[in-house]
């Protein structure tokens, strides 16, 4: 498997939420995706362990 975390062509926007705790990363992510178009990729950098649970749930909430 190739690690694309530092390949800027692998994502369209990046959001660094390092040091923030729930619900801040999700709130910032919600604001960021509002400015993006369908199909674009957002890279989220986070240190809050809950983010690994919250991001997929947020994406399901937004729907396709």
So which residues are the catalytic ones? 22
E strands, 1-64, in order: 13-16, 42-45
DSSP state of 44: E
Our separate counts of H helices and E strands in the chain read: 2, 2
């Amino acid at each position: 498997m190739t690690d694309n975390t530092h390949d800027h062509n692998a994502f369209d926007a990046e959001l660094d939420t390092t040091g923030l705790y729930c619900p801040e990363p999700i709130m910032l992510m919600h604001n960021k995706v509002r400015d993006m178009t369908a199909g674009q990729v957002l890279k989220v950098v986070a240190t809050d362990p809950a983010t690994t649970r919250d991001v997929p749930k947020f994406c399901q909430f937004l729907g396709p």
